[in-house]
Amino acid sequence: MIVALGMLLFTVKDVRTNYNWFGHFYKPNDILNVILNEKPVEKDNSYKAEAIVKDIIKSHSSTNTSGRVIIYFKKDSSLNRLAPGTGLAFKKPLQQIKNSGNPGGFDYKGYALRKGITHTVYLTEQDYVLSSQKQTASFNQLLHTIRGYVLTNLNKYIPGRKEQGLAKALLIGYKDDLDRDLLQSYTNTGVVHVIAVSGMHLALIFWLLNLLFKPFLKSRRTAWLHPVLIISLLWLFTFIAGGSASIVRAAVMFTCILFGTAFKRKASIYNTLAASAFLLLCYNPYWLWDAGFQLSYAAVLSIIIFYKPIYECTYLNNKPLDWLWQLVAVSIAAQVLTTPIVLYHFHQFPVYFLITNILVVPVSSLVLIGELILVIVSPIQILASGLGKLLSATIWWMNSFIEQLARFPFAVIEGIQINPLQAVLLLIMIAGVSFFLIEKMKSGLWIGFTALAIFLIFNSLYFLKASDQTKIIVYNISKHDALDFIEGRLYKPLMDPALGQNKKLVDMNLKPARTLYRVKATDTIEGLTITNNAILFFDKRILLINKSINTGATVDKIKVDLVILSGNPRLYITDLIKVVSPKQVVISGSSPLWKANYWQKDCDSLQLPCHNVSEKGAFVMTLR
């Protein structure tokens, strides 16, 4: 029955099964009435906002619908008038969200679908009009107003772009202004959890609220106000912070604990944790696939199980040293069960996590408390200004420490590739060995070592397979050309200079594939010869075409295995096959969409195999 109910929940939560979902009624020429769900956020080349589709207007009818889309606006000063709840009407066709299709890449389509978002559209100022339909006052608008008030005061009183960005992320989970290089430094040093609003933040707020409302417990008449006020304010903060899985989990846990305390019942922490997970998954079963949800529960469970045994390994009579050892024990305990999940999702391990957690966690906690006080005293300008400068200096020190440590050698071990089965085997190994160490049961040791042996066998097989691979990959990167030639565990890249200088694009599109195939860069590969635009890779002949070709008199056609078309040359496929006889045509991501579609149609009419990476994802040719 539980399995059947779980399947039913998944079906109900899938927006595509909703009868009113706009995708069932929408046609490219229809007019869409949408309401912005958030204020447009600035990106590199556009502004981005999420919107709710309220109506589809056809020639003689209007249909009420549900569902959400992502709108990208061209950068324009008129966007200042677009606030949450604003209604827009436009006719520009929607595009389905799709993945890049690069090997090992992030499943953005699945991620968006789990949030109920299926389509996207790019609008200029001429593509839309403000509609009369606006969202009436609602709880969401109240939250947006409060978030806006908090963000305004942080911008006003905390100087420094990086400092402001971290302060917003730390207090309410607003990451749009967070410096990306700084975020990577926090990730590489193992303290990115202080930026993600989570149970640690809510625990601090819970402690402050408990301290503030403790006088209510002195009287029976006001004792009921203590849990009611704490729970109300905890949930208000949770929603203001964006309601991520980690902070909602913590809010549900504290709610269960407070209810138990109010009714004089003390339940096992394991039951409280399990109850909160069950309730959250009943509300949204898709959270089970959320990395934050998995890491949040793994960290809490790991601390509950392992903190006490680790802490009791050493007795320190000195209080400062004992406090320091407690921090170390918590950091080690949290890392035990989260490590397999981190390796699976992020393919790296932070070596200096102990050092950074010991210093950054206490400092970030003080900063969080300071920010809460700053928001409260913001009407008193002199006091708020002084506190803001102090917070800015503290955040600057914390950022500088993290950035410097991230530059140290061996700060992070990268390129770790494990699959879900291997992650489960690591967890079984940890459980077995822990059972032996804590409960002194030899069966746990046998289970642990068996799981480890199976893990190592699988790992050895994967490395043997990687050592015997030969591949050509043409990546899908908009406006750029990128190829990898793989032989064994080495790869030789070939890309345009602009892409080579853009580390963000390389890490996003190329690095996951190289991690997946377990390869490292090299200057030369035996069997690879590159002469201008002609490439010989073992027995495969490849031709790169990025300009017009001469179709004059030729004796024989050039026989090639692969032709890669890139850029925007004046080229017709009918002219191409007069001088070249290709077995396969690949259209690079650097080609404009209209040109790529034109070439695709020509190839289809000539029955010539053609792969457009912009439509089908990366092209991977496996030689062996």
**Chain position carrying tokens 């000063």:** 77
Amino acid at 393: A
DSSP string, 125-149: GGGEEE-S--PPS-HHHHHHHHHHH
Query: By percentage, how much of the chain surpasses pLDDT 90?
Result: 37
Higher pLDDT, 49 or 192: 49
Q: How confident is the model at residue 183 (pLDDT cuts 50, 70, 90)?
A: confident
How much is the pLDDT for 360? 86
Residue 254 pLDDT > 90: no
* Per-residue pLDDT tens digits for 262-283: 777 777 888 888 888 888 888 8
Average pLDDT over residues 196-214: 76
* Per-residue pLDDT tens digits for 302-349: 988 998 999 888 888 888 888 888 888 888 888 899 999 999 998 988
Written as six digits, the tokens of 270 are 């394991």
Average pLDDT over residues 190-219: 78
CB neighbour burial string for 124-145, b if at least 16 within 10 angstroms, e if fewer: eeeebeebeeebeeeeeeebbe
Written as six digits, the tokens of 19 are 């009868």
CATH of 13-136, one of 1.10.405, 2.60.40, 2.60.450, 2.40.50: 2.40.50
- Report the C-alpha gap between 69 and 53 in whole angstroms: 7
Angle between helices 161-172 and 139-157 (to 10 degrees): 150
* Per-residue pLDDT tens digits for 121-152: 999 888 888 887 665 556 667 777 777 888 88
Q: How confident is the model at residue 352 (pLDDT cuts 50, 70, 90)?
A: confident
Residue 524 pLDDT > 70: yes
* Per-residue pLDDT tens digits for 12-44: 889 999 899 999 999 888 999 999 888 888 887
The answer to whether residues 204 and 184 touch, using CB atoms and an 8 Å cutoff, is: no
How much is the pLDDT for 407? 87
| Half-sphere exposure of residue 355: CA atoms within 13 angstroms, side-chain side | 14
Residues 238/239/241/243 CA torsion (nearest 10 deg): 80
Written as six digits, the tokens of 21 are 């979902």
* pLDDT, mean over the chain: 87
How much is the pLDDT for 42? 80
* Per-residue pLDDT tens digits for 75-87: 876 677 788 888 8
Q: How confident is the model at residue 447 (pLDDT cuts 50, 70, 90)?
A: very high
Helix, strand, coil percent values for the chain (each to nearest 5) = 55, 15, 30
- Report the C-alpha gap between 119 and 121 in whole angstroms: 7
Higher pLDDT, 83 or 48: 48
DSSP string, 281-316: HHH-GGGGG-HHHHHHHHHHHHHHHHHHHHHTT---
Q: Is 48 helix (H, G, I), strand (E, B) or coil?
A: strand
Average pLDDT over residues 56-79: 85
- The reported pTM is 0.85
Q: Return the beta strands (E) in 532-584 as ranges.
A: 534-537, 540-545, 558-560, 562-565, 580-582
Q: How confident is the model at residue 212 (pLDDT cuts 50, 70, 90)?
A: confident
Of 200-209, 274-283, 452-461, least confident by mean pLDDT is: 200-209
Higher pLDDT, 366 or 242: 366
Average pLDDT over residues 104-114: 91
How much is the pLDDT for 71? 94
How much is the pLDDT for 504? 86
Q: How confident is the model at residue 612 (pLDDT cuts 50, 70, 90)?
A: very high
- Report the C-alpha gap between 605 and 572 in whole angstroms: 13
How much is the pLDDT for 243? 67
- Report the C-alpha gap between 370 and 365 in whole angstroms: 9
* Per-residue pLDDT tens digits for 407-432: 888 888 888 999 999 999 999 999 99
Residues linked to residue 528 through DSSP beta bridges, in sequence order: 537
Dihedral sign (CA 151, 156, 158, 161): positive
Q: How far is CA 492 from CA 42, 519, 524, in A?
A: 36, 10, 7
Average pLDDT over residues 566-572: 89
- Report the C-alpha gap between 194 and 187 in whole angstroms: 10
Residue 200 pLDDT > 80: no
